[in-house]
Amino acid sequence: MKPFTQLTGIVAPMDRANVDTDMIIPKQFLKSIKRSGFGPNLFDELRYLDEGQPGEDCSNRPINPDFPLNFPRYKGASVLLARENFGCGSSREHAPWALEDYGFRCVIAPSYADIFFNNCFKNGVLPIVQDAETVDRLFKEMYATEGYQLSVDLQAQAITTPGGEVLSFEVENFRKHCLLNGLDDIGITLQQAEAIHAYEDKRRQQAPWLFASRS
Amino acid sequence: MTAKTLYDKLWNDHLVAITDEGDALIYIDRHLVHEVTSPQAFEGLRLAGRKPWRIDANLATPDHNVPSDVNERAGGVAGITDPVSQLQVKTLDDNCDEFGIEEFQINDVRQGIVHVVGPEQGATLPGMTVVCGDSHTATHGALGAIAHGIGTSEVEHVLATQCLQQRKMKNMLVKVDGELRPGVTAKDIVLAVIGKIGTAGGTGCAIEFGGSTIRALSIEGRMTICNMAIEAGARIGMVAVDETTINYVKGRPYAPTGGNWDKAIAYWNTLHSDPGAVFDKVVELDANDILPQVTWGTSPEMVASINASVPSPEDFKEPVKRAACERALEYMGLEGGMAIRDIKLDKVFIGSCTNSRIEDLRSAAAVVKGRKIAANIKEALVVPGSGLVKKQAEEEGLDKIFIEAGMLWRQPSCSMCLAMNSDKLGAGEHCASTSNRNFEGRQGFGGRTHLVSPAMAAAAAVAGHFIDVNELLEGAQA
């Protein structure tokens, strides 16, 4: 996993509530057996006017001129500003894969769906929670200023606006540690192999049917 | 001892380690695997030179990409016409072979939607922790288990360590009491719950569904409710163990037997929230207030009773909700204020992990029996949830009832719930669907989904638009 430490980047809007993972990456792209290359199909049904197919070259597809990510001013954006309950719906990790592959390393929203939120941390994408009023204010500032950028510092748990305002955010220590260092959490868990074996030995006594093979 | 909730008890029983900050390592008893969210996880294992921690805890079956059409299905994996889908199903077969994981392959009679197969086989049991790379894993909580969806990184994590790193969620109780009105089913209950608390109402929580109405439901009905906990924002939905649960599990292929059965029952009988247990959130519903439900918009919380009207943007005070309503009406091609009954339909889909079990099919068949689907219904698909559900339905003659009504009787798969196989809506088509999500494009590019119960979908197929199923049930000859 790519570490996340600091980021300064253009902010792009996804200005609607309850953006679901089908919207982030439609199901036909879930047929891939790879975990990369989803960026061109991020928000596929909103970004393009036709129906996208897996493996298709997107450079000649008709783009939706009304969709903000297609506006020149948001080109190269790395921070996505969003509304309530972002990432609801399915558990597909293809959603953060697509965001990351497109170039988004950070999402700022008032709330997220649990599974999506969790999946982001496994893929070097930082989902930041700010209250709805703050997010609303950031939307207004962003719309008012072309080239609007935010700086995000994970170590300091702070967002800095172009006006110099500093907004702090919460993040669980363990997740912060893994993200800052780009750690593989399977390796971390395997350091506790003895504890897992001990649990299994105890559980086998208490609940032997959970370890019995099929009758 | 302090009173504990069902979730508290199951959490404690699966705790391998926990830090002072609350970062826990939780043991996973059962990992269900399907073709869509697993290939990258197996690839990760290979790249890191890791082996599965406990092979017998895994059970796999392909479901999302599997064709429902009998001819396409006949050729097995090689017969899948979409080469990308075919490769994904073949990759599951290859990975299960390589790592020694038990799999019910495409034309095994035990194959089906992973959330139908697990309980049907007794592979998911009360008191277990059950995970799968699919958000509808909450379904298995109906048996009194902790069950939830995970992403692909966690699929790999469970394969490699049999554990997950987690923090404990909050406890939420959704209590439904009273007797259901005629024609009202588990699906209507859960849609009404989502309508009341919203799609983020359960975020961060494990929801326990309780109350006399839930207690009176069959396990299949409870599965329908837990299945859609995620549509209320909660990763986990669960129901306490009772006699109904134990009777359901008994005799299933993977269920314990002999001395282990007795030990298991003794443990399972403790799997309920203690009197006085404290929940962080409680929501109560009166069953008598619930009428058959129909979603009108593009989020499951956009739901109304059959006798109601589609709302207008002005009905919402909050700007974000008003904008969402406006956008939803535009996408759905509906006018605010029109009667739900007047929504014209093009297709009907009966199936999915929410509603493809035998009771669902019986309930739909009871409505269409001796009737024909309306002329404006271009296609009405009935897709059983597993090979065994299909077999049972055929033994009961349900397939004939559907076929005589003009519906299509298909092979087990996820099918048009998410349109990863060739069952899709065309742009602009309205579908009465027993699935779980009405998101834009979910059932096909530009498709318009209305979530309903199997009985309501069947009634809609006959009428060609939504009607209260009771109008047909009252007229039905016993």
The 3-state secondary structure of B166-192, one letter per residue: ECCCEEEEEEEECCCCCCCCHHHHHHH
Partners of B16 on chain A (C-beta within 8 Å) are: 192, 195-196, 199
Chain A residues touching residue B85 (CB < 8 angstroms)? 31
Chain-chain contact of B165 with A174 (C-beta, under 8 angstroms): yes
Say how far apart CA B476 and CA A126 lie, in whole Å. 57
* Tens digit of each residue's pLDDT (9 = 90 or more) over B247-266: 999 999 999 999 999 999 99
Contact B151 A93 (CB under 8 A): yes
* Structure-model confidence comparison of residues B422 and B171, the more confident one: B171
Q: Can you tell me the mean pLDDT for A208-213?
A: 89
- B153 CB near a chain A CB, below 8 Å? yes
Residues of A in contact with B233 (CB under 8 A): 85, 88, 113-114
Tokens representing residue A173 in the block: 């220590």
Q: State the best of B154, B250, B298 to mutate against chain A, taking most chain A CBs within 10 Å.
A: B154
A contact test, residue of B163, B261, B413, B424 with most A CBs within 10 A: B163
For A151, the 3-state DSSP assignment is: strand
**A77: Cα separation from own chain's centroid:** 14
User: Average pLDDT, stretch A61-69?
Assistant: 97
B329-350 average pLDDT score: 98
What mean pLDDT do residues B370-382 have?
98
**Per-residue pLDDT, B478:** 41
Q: How confident is the model at residue A213 (pLDDT cuts 50, 70, 90)?
A: low
Flag whether residue B21 sits within 8 Å of chain A, measured between CB atoms.
Answer: yes
Check CB contact of B25 with chain A, cutoff 8 Å. Answer: yes
Please list, in sequence order, all residues whose beta carbon lies within 8 angstroms of the beta carbon of residue B208, skipping any fewer than 6 positions away.
Answer: B5, B6, B7, B171, B172, B173, B174, B237, B238, B239, B240, B273, B279
Q: How far is the C-alpha of B466 from the C-alpha of B369, rounded, in Å? A: 18
C-alpha to C-alpha distances, B44 to A183, B40, B51, nearest whole angstrom: 14, 6, 10
Q: Bridge-partner residues for B18, per DSSP? A: B24
Q: Are the beta carbons of B263 and A207 separated by less than 8 Å?
A: yes
- Whole-angstrom CA distances from B462 to B369, B406, B408 are 10, 10, 14
Measured CA distances, A24 to A3, B39, B181 (Å): 23, 20, 39
Q: Which of B455, B456, B453 is nearest to B467 (CA)?
A: B456
Q: Shortest CB distance from B25 goes to which of A16, A51, A192?
A: A192
Give the helix/strand (H/E) hosting A194.
helix A193-206
Which residues of B are less than 8 Å from A83 in CB distance?
A: 320
Percent of chain B residues past pLDDT 90, beyond the cut: 98
Write out pLDDT tens, residues B66-102.
Answer: 999 999 999 999 999 999 999 999 999 999 999 999 9
**Residues B51-63: tens digit of each pLDDT:** 999 999 999 999 9
Residue A200's contacts (CB-CB under 8 Å, 6 or more residues apart) are: A211, B27, B54, B162
Write out residues 135-194 of A within 8 Å (CB-CB) of B: 172-174, 184-186, 188-190, 192-193
- Per the structure, the count of domains in chain A is 1
Helix-, strand-, coil-residue percentages of chain A, each rounded to 5: 40, 20, 40
Helix (H) or strand (E) holding A187: helix A185-190
> In the structure, what pLDDT confidence band is assigned to residue B274 with cuts at 50, 70 and 90?
very high
Residue A41 domain-assigned?
yes
Rounded CA separation A99/B362 (Å): 43
CATH of the domain at A26: 3.20.19.10
Residue type, A2: K
In angstroms, rounded to a whole number, what is the distance separating the alpha carbons of residues A145 and B296? Answer: 37
pLDDT value of residue B477? 43
Q: Output the average pLDDT for chain B.
A: 97
Contacting residues of B for A51, CB less than 8 Å apart: 445
**Banded pLDDT at A96 (limits 50, 70, 90):** very high
Q: What is the pLDDT of residues A119-169, one digit of tens each?
A: 999 999 999 999 999 999 999 999 999 999 999 999 999 999 999 999 999
A134 located within any domain? yes
Residue B196, number of CB atoms within 10 A of its CB: 17
Q: Which pLDDT score is estimated for B97?
A: 98
What's this model's pTM, rounded to 2 decimal places? Answer: 0.96
Which residue bears the tokens 């493809």?
B356
| pLDDT, mean over chain A | 96
- Choose from B165, B254, B331 for mutation: most chain A CBs within 10 A: B165
Whether residue A1 is contained in a domain is answered as no
Residue B164 CA to residue A126 CA, distance in Å, equals: 20
Q: Considering only CB atoms, which chain A residues are within 8 Å of B19?
A: 174
**Neighbour count for residue B338 (Cβ, 10 Å):** 14
Q: What's the pLDDT at B77?
A: 98
Q: Partners of B146 in the beta sheet?
A: B129
Residue B120 has pLDDT above 50, yes or no: yes
- The answer for A 38-67 residues in CB contact with B (under 8 A) is 45, 51, 54-55
CB atoms within 10 A of CB B89: 25
- The C-alpha angle with vertex B233 and arms to B231 and B234, in degrees rounded to 5, equals 105
ipTM of the prediction greater than 0.85, yes or no: yes
Token output for B303: 């739901």
What sign does the CA torsion over B332, B335, B336, B341 have? Answer: negative
Q: Please give the residue of chain A at the shortest CA–CA distance from B201.
A: A85
pLDDT (average), residues B216-232: 98
Tens-place pLDDT, residues A159-208: 999 999 999 999 999 999 999 999 989 999 999 999 999 999 999 999 99
Q: Give the chain A residue whose CA is nearest to the CA of B228.
A: A89
Tallying the residues shown for chain A, one arrives at 215
CB pairs under 8 A between A and B: 200
The DSSP bridge partners found for residue B30 are: B130
Per-residue three-class SS string for chain B: CCCCCHHHHHHHHCEEEECCCCCEEEECCEEEECCCCCHHHHHHHHHHCCCCCCHHHEEECCCCCCCCCHHHHHCHHHHCCCHHHHHHHHHHHHHHHHHCCEECCCCCCCCECHHHHHHHHCCCCCCCEEEECCHHHHHHHHHCCEEEECCHHHHHHHHHHCEEEECCCEEEEEEEECCCCCCCCHHHHHHHHHHHHCCCCCCCEEEEEECHHHHCCCHHHHHHHHHHHHHHCCCEEECCCCHHHHHHHCCCCCCCCHHHHHHHHHHHCCCCCCCCCCCCEEEEEEHHHCCCEEECCCCCCCEEECCCECCCHHHCCCHHHHHHHHHHHHHHCCCCCCEHHHCECCEEEECCCCCCCHHHHHHHHHHHCCCCCCCCCCEEEECCCEHHHHHHHHHCCHHHHHHHCCCEECCCCCHHHCCCCCCCCCCCCEEEECCCCCCCCCCCCCCEEEECCHHHHHHHHHHCECCCHHHHHHHCCC
Q: Do A22 and B439 touch (CB under 8 A)?
A: yes
Mutate to test the interface with A, among B117, B135, B231, B420 (most CBs of A within 10 A): B135
Interface test with B, best of A15, A20, A91, A210 (most B CBs within 10 A): A91
Using 50, 70 and 90 to split pLDDT, how confident is the model at A212?
confident
pLDDT number for residue A214: 55
A215 pLDDT higher than 50: no
- Report yes or no: A123 and A97 within 8 Å, Cβ to Cβ: yes
pLDDT score of B208 more than 70: yes
**Residue B475 above 60 pLDDT?**
no
Element (H, E) at A168: strand A166-168
What is the C-alpha to C-alpha distance for residues B217 and B224, in angstroms, rounded to an integer?
Answer: 10
Structural tokens at position B443: 């059932």
- Nearest residue on chain B to A190, alpha-carbon basis: B161
Judged by CB atoms closer than 8 Å, whether chains meet at A115 and B150 is answered as yes
Query: What residue numbers bound the domain in which A142 lies?
Result: 6-211
Q: Residue type at B377?
A: I
Instruction: Please tell me the total number of residues recorded for chain B in this structure.
Output: 478
